Amino acid sequence: MAEARARRRNGKRSGRRPEKETAPRAPYISRQIATYDILSAEGLDLIEDNANTILQETGMEFRGDPEILQIWRNAGADVKGERVRFEPGMCRGIIQASAPGEFVQHARNPQNNVIIGGSNTVLAPVWGPPFVHDLDQGRRYATLDDFHKLVKLHAMLPAVHHSGGVLCEPVDVPANKRHLDMLLAHIRFSDRPFFGALLGAERAQDSVEIAKILFGAEFVNDHCCLYAVSNTNAPLVLDSAMSGALKVYARNNQAVACTPWTLAGAMSPCTEAGTLAQVLAEALAVMALTQLIKPGAPCLFGCFATAISMQSGAPTFGNPEAGRMVLVAGQLARRLGVPLHTVGALTASKIPDAQALQESTYGLTMSVLAGANFINHACGWLEGGLVSGFEKSVIDADLCGKLSVFTQGMDLSDNAQAMDAIREVGPGEHFLASQHTLKNFATAFYRPLTADNNSFEQWKAEGSLDAARRANKIWKDLLARYEPPPIDPGVWEGLKEYVAKRKASLPDQPY
Amino acid sequence: MAEARARRRNGKRSGRRPEKETAPRAPYISRQIATYDILSAEGLDLIEDNANTILQETGMEFRGDPEILQIWRNAGADVKGERVRFEPGMCRGIIQASAPGEFVQHARNPQNNVIIGGSNTVLAPVWGPPFVHDLDQGRRYATLDDFHKLVKLHAMLPAVHHSGGVLCEPVDVPANKRHLDMLLAHIRFSDRPFFGALLGAERAQDSVEIAKILFGAEFVNDHCCLYAVSNTNAPLVLDSAMSGALKVYARNNQAVACTPWTLAGAMSPCTEAGTLAQVLAEALAVMALTQLIKPGAPCLFGCFATAISMQSGAPTFGNPEAGRMVLVAGQLARRLGVPLHTVGALTASKIPDAQALQESTYGLTMSVLAGANFINHACGWLEGGLVSGFEKSVIDADLCGKLSVFTQGMDLSDNAQAMDAIREVGPGEHFLASQHTLKNFATAFYRPLTADNNSFEQWKAEGSLDAARRANKIWKDLLARYEPPPIDPGVWEGLKEYVAKRKASLPDQPY
């Protein structure tokens, strides 16, 4: 502890640096503990049999995209109008013939490359909210300035591995041009991997072109540099905005998380086994589609399954049913041999309060136990995904760090067994000054960023701040300390030029 | 949903009853899912080998209780002064010869009897705080009035199974008489099982005498009617206050949770494997002691292991290390064949905020995954156990309900598979009005007590309340609706008479 004190005293930037250490930076989690499996092989068979029955009897609709229908016809599926039906096992066979079990998503800083699949887990921030929330300004429509701040803030959170995508919707930029500004911001303010735009072939193509400028066209051809999600319109529909983007990414060998998004009770049956059969059916069809477009293109089994309130119809998050469903989704993905994409710290709460962290902690923990390989919304989500919260991101990132440590399993080395320490100290004495403690204190135990473990008196003297108020100070401090990572000036000019040209070629569309 | 509306409209006490349903009442959780095991058999062997080495080389001190030392001498242990050393395997052998793998703790209402052990989990409220906290009066010393309110409040929370013990310390009652008032309150205001007093032979004997009046002397002789915890003074000490009570309970066939209480880094090594070896050593010795006193008396392997902050020395809760330790404790208890006692919703937070529920949710979830058979402090704990929180209890009880549902595993019945619903609805339609939904909506999905899933606008119109503010309304509403369970007037008179006599015989001791 003397060392810690000395560091604090001598720290050159001690005025701006938080006293507490954060989690050690790692590009992704390499899990050392088992996944938590709650269904038997027979239970998994039952769900997959039902998924096959759904695909065979009801099938799936691919709306507004004749090319997709032709791809299915060529593959031997039964296509009637926009409805496509599949023989049992057909999609599984297509997926297993070529879909990779794991792959690398590249970052412009290779130290931040992530391995997606196997026993690895990548944590990404919140995706999609039109609003932002912080304690100073409350809830408001998001702007590009908020977006920039959020990219920078997440880049400063060591337990997050991915720069993400739509950290918030910058509604002050025309809707059809936002994706360009967001891609530029991820590239300029972070050197972690990032998302491609999700909606429509045109924006996906922009994402690929931008990746080619950043990584080099040849490199992009056979390396995954973009990550995208393709959401079904549950039940059993994929629309052209999604299939359009999916085609672009798959053809360019970029990753697509094939993610049925469902609120059980509204968009799927109000039961878990029924919902999972539908989720699996949709995911099988969409994953198979990526492989038909480009065999070997990285794809993931995505699961975003939660429930509505049967009293009000409102979406609910962090419910016990969602936890069970994500655990089973993990089992289904593993036996299929593809990586699992899930969602993390979800909540319906409007503010970063006790409800928010009860729901988020349960949800993120379940996704980690499920062995998810990519967890979207691992931090920052509020109000059912309508709001991106600055304080919420900081508090959640602490949970990300905690769970990262948890996944490393228990150290059983001689040092960890500490038998000499127990011999040295003996009954009734304390370990604070033991040789073993002095040797290990600097690395012992996860150090949370936001938790206050001080006495009541000290907490009161410091203003009786709740976790959200402390997080408010932390994100401001992190932004104050933020420095952009270096970027090749020629590449940056090329990116800006591409975006300027594209913007000039597009009419302004507010929505 | 029509039915729910009708019930609300016609509810006779609708003005006082919360709209939201709570978890269905059950006397305990009967787990339908696997425990989550993170160590291999070799890892468990290593920890138990180390525990044996500790017991053999260092041994344990039993302070101030010559009778205990004699019991050990008679059993063949090596006793020098107050230090007792044990041959490897000695304690395990004693425990396995007679300790029950599961047992019933009786409640005065037999419908509330709990089975402790096997795949069952009993959730009990917070134990021991000298302070209480609510949003109206803040943090203050607890009184007997608070104690009464807390017994009543917890009796109204369906996801909690046990009335507990020292829900708070009623500091307005002399320290040596409080246990009598607390026992009376548990018996009068709840018909669930409850704790016996923990400290000292005299108070334990009072607890047994009171149980005999309530249940009948003969019944108590061979049925467990009291539950008690025996905490070691880690490292490796059991003091006479604890051993005095332990002797009384064991002799009377009442349950003792043999619970090393340790803050890793201070009271045990700053590593998990070292801490667990010490915890197991202490628990083995104390459990064996109960069996030497009375073979077959119910005992539990208790684990309350968390870590200090290595920066400040403050206790921390809900840390990743505590989660791993409780999971391994579960594995150690199961291979020993005894029930596991753990701790639940712990936090260092002073208030029911995001920190509180992040730490508590993680901790309680880990205890549930560990297969704990009795989880103490499953609700209401704040500030490292110094404070019992009214709002915290309500928010935590919601988590208890959620995890109870989680443990029931996934329903794979025909109804849950919902294949007809998926056939009926088809692509792009919704399930809200399907036959399956109409049939199942009343029981589908856990209904939280405190969560707000409404729109931002509705939430704002209702006062922009955070979870703690909503919980404040809920606990007041629950107390307003509380009605004491019936009790035999003769028994009640007998209990009051015993307590009055005992109180008159004791001098007032403020501390």
Whether residue A380 contacts residue A163, with contact meaning beta carbons closer than 8 Å, is answered with no
pLDDT at res. B284: 98
Q: Is B274 on the interface with A (CB under 8 A)?
A: yes
Cα separation, A80 vs A61, in Å, equals 10
pLDDT at res. A34: 96
One-letter amino acid for residue B13 of the chain: R
Q: Which residues contact A51 (CB under 8 A, 6 or more apart)?
A: A277, A278, A280, A281, A284
Whether residue A452 contacts residue A470, with contact meaning beta carbons closer than 8 Å, is answered with yes
Task: Say whether pLDDT at B18 is over 50.
Answer: no
Task: Say whether pLDDT at B357 is over 60.
Answer: yes
The Cα-based distances of B75 to B92, B249, B260 in angstroms read 13, 20, 22
- The complex scores an ipTM of 0.95
**Mean pLDDT score of chain B:** 94
Whether residue B201 contacts residue B207, with contact meaning beta carbons closer than 8 Å, is answered with no
Q: Which residues of B touch A265 (CB under 8 A)?
A: 431-432, 437, 441, 444-445
**Cβ–Cβ of B423/A58 closer than 8 Å?**
yes
**Cβ–Cβ of B419/A307 closer than 8 Å?**
no
pLDDT at res. B429: 95
Q: Is A353 on the interface with B (CB under 8 A)?
A: yes
pLDDT at res. B458: 97
Report residue B366 as tokens: 């880990």
Under DSSP, is residue B256 helix (H, G, I), strand (E, B) or coil? strand
Task: Say whether pLDDT at B7 is over 70.
Answer: no
pLDDT digits (tens, 9 = 90+) for B398-429: 999 999 999 999 999 999 999 999 999 999 99
Report residue B357 as tokens: 């529920």
Mutation for testing the A interface, residue in B355, B368, B393 having most A CBs under 10 Å:
B355
Q: Which residues contact B389 (CB under 8 A, 6 or more apart)?
A: B132, B133, B134, B351, B352, B380, B381, B382
pLDDT at res. A511: 60
pLDDT at res. B25: 80
Q: Residues A168, A173, A174, A177: what is their CA dihedral angle, to the nearest 10 degrees?
A: -80
Report residue A422 as tokens: 């127990």
DSSP code per residue over B263-316: EETTTB-SSHHHHHHHHHHHHHHHHHHHHHHSTT--EEEE-EEEEE-TTT--EE
* Chain B: residue whose CA lies nearest to A458: B350
pLDDT at res. A42: 98
Cβ burial of A364 (10 Å; 0-12, 13-18, 19+) is buried
Task: Say whether pLDDT at B347 is over 90.
Answer: yes
Please provide residue A321's backbone torsions phi and psi, each rounded to the nearest 5 degrees.
Answer: -65, -40
User: Under CATH, domain B1-7+39-407+449-511 is a member of which superfamily?
Assistant: Trimethylamine methyltransferase-like (3.20.20.480)
Report residue A478 as tokens: 């992190």
CA distance B202 to chain A (A): 25
Q: Is B414 on the interface with A (CB under 8 A)?
A: no
Please choose, from the candidates A154, A218, A156, the residue with its C-alpha nearest in 3D space to the C-alpha of residue A182.
Answer: A154
Place B510 in a pLDDT band, splitting at 50, 70 and 90.
low
B14-27 mean pLDDT: 52
pLDDT at res. A24: 60
The Cα-based distances of B321 to A358, A425, A445, B304 in angstroms read 19, 22, 7, 12
**Cβ–Cβ of A4/B311 closer than 8 Å?**
yes
Q: Which residues of B touch A448 (CB under 8 A)?
A: 316, 319
pLDDT at res. B511: 60
Q: Which residues of A touch B419 (CB under 8 A)?
A: 50, 53-54, 274, 277
**Cβ–Cβ of B402/A362 closer than 8 Å?**
yes
Q: What percent of chain B has pLDDT over 70?
A: 95
Please choose, from the candidates A334, A236, A227, A197, the residue with its C-alpha nearest in 3D space to the C-alpha of residue A290.
Answer: A227
Q: Is B322 on the interface with A (CB under 8 A)?
A: no
Name the percent of chain A in helix, strand, coil, to the closest 5.
45, 15, 40
- The conformational region for residue A81 under phi > 0 = left, psi -120 to 50 = alpha, else beta, is left
- Beta-strand relationship, B374-376 and B340-343: parallel
pLDDT digits (tens, 9 = 90+) for B202-245: 999 999 999 999 999 999 999 999 999 999 999 999 999 999 99
- Beta-strand relationship, B78-80 and B83-85: antiparallel
Cβ burial of B373 (10 Å; 0-12, 13-18, 19+) is buried
Whether residue A341 contacts residue A372, with contact meaning beta carbons closer than 8 Å, is answered with yes
Task: Say whether pLDDT at B3 is over 60.
Answer: no
Please provide residue B228's backbone torsions phi and psi, each rounded to the nearest 5 degrees.
Answer: -135, 160
Domain boundaries, chain B: 1-7+39-407+449-511
- Beta-strand relationship, A60-62 and A83-85: antiparallel
pTM to 2 decimal places: 0.95
Task: Say whether pLDDT at B10 is over 50.
Answer: no
- The conformational region for residue A366 under phi > 0 = left, psi -120 to 50 = alpha, else beta, is alpha
pLDDT at res. A19: 39
Q: Which residues contact A314 (CB under 8 A, 6 or more apart)?
A: A308, A348, A384, B453, B454, B455
Q: Which residues of B touch A361 (CB under 8 A)?
A: 357-358, 361-362, 365
Site of tokens 């905020």: B353
Task: Say whether pLDDT at B343 is over 50.
Answer: yes
**Helices of type H across B430-488:** 435-440, 456-461, 467-481
The closest CB to that of B274, out of A361, A421, A454, belongs to A421
One-letter amino acid for residue B177 of the chain: K
**Cβ–Cβ of B233/A428 closer than 8 Å?**
yes
Task: Say whether pLDDT at B80 is over 70.
Answer: yes
pLDDT at res. A25: 80
pLDDT at res. B12: 35
Of the CA atoms within 13 Å of residue B351, those in its CB half-sphere come to 21
**Cβ–Cβ of B320/A36 closer than 8 Å?**
no
**Cβ–Cβ of A354/B350 closer than 8 Å?**
no
Q: Which residues of B touch A468 (CB under 8 A)?
A: 353-354
**Cβ–Cβ of A358/B353 closer than 8 Å?**
no
pLDDT at res. B509: 77
A with B: how many residue pairs have Cβ under 8 Å apart? 410
Cβ burial of B156 (10 Å; 0-12, 13-18, 19+) is buried
Cα separation, A55 vs A77, in Å, equals 10
Q: Is A7 on the interface with B (CB under 8 A)?
A: no
pLDDT at res. B339: 98
Three-state secondary structure readout of A415-466: HHHCHHHHHHHCCCCCCCCCHHHHHHCCCCCCCCCCCCCCCHHHHHHCCCCC
In the predicted model, residues of chain A with pLDDT beneath 70 are 1-24, 510-511
Report residue B386 as tokens: 């110094």
Q: Which residues of B touch A362 (CB under 8 A)?
A: 361, 365, 399, 402
CA distance B495 to chain A (A): 39
Cα separation, A63 vs B257, in Å, equals 62
pLDDT at res. B21: 44
Q: Is A206 on the interface with B (CB under 8 A)?
A: no
The closest CB to that of A38, out of B33, B266, B270, belongs to B33
Task: Say whether pLDDT at B298 is over 90.
Answer: yes
Q: Is A483 on the interface with B (CB under 8 A)?
A: no
CA distance B12 to chain A (A): 20
pLDDT digits (tens, 9 = 90+) for B178-202: 999 999 999 999 999 999 999 999 9
Q: Which residues contact A5 (CB under 8 A, 6 or more apart)?
A: none
Please provide residue B330's backbone torsions phi and psi, each rounded to the nearest 5 degrees.
Answer: -60, -45
Three-state secondary structure readout of B15-65: CCCCCCCCCCCCCCEECCCCCCCCCCHHHHHHHHHHHHHHHHHHCEEECCC
pLDDT at res. A508: 79
Report residue A74 as tokens: 């060529």
DSSP code per residue over A93-132: HHHHHH--SEEEEP-SSGGG-EEEETTEEEE------SEE
Q: Which residues of B touch A382 (CB under 8 A)?
A: none
Under DSSP, is residue A77 helix (H, G, I), strand (E, B) or coil? coil
Cα separation, B408 vs B83, in Å, equals 46
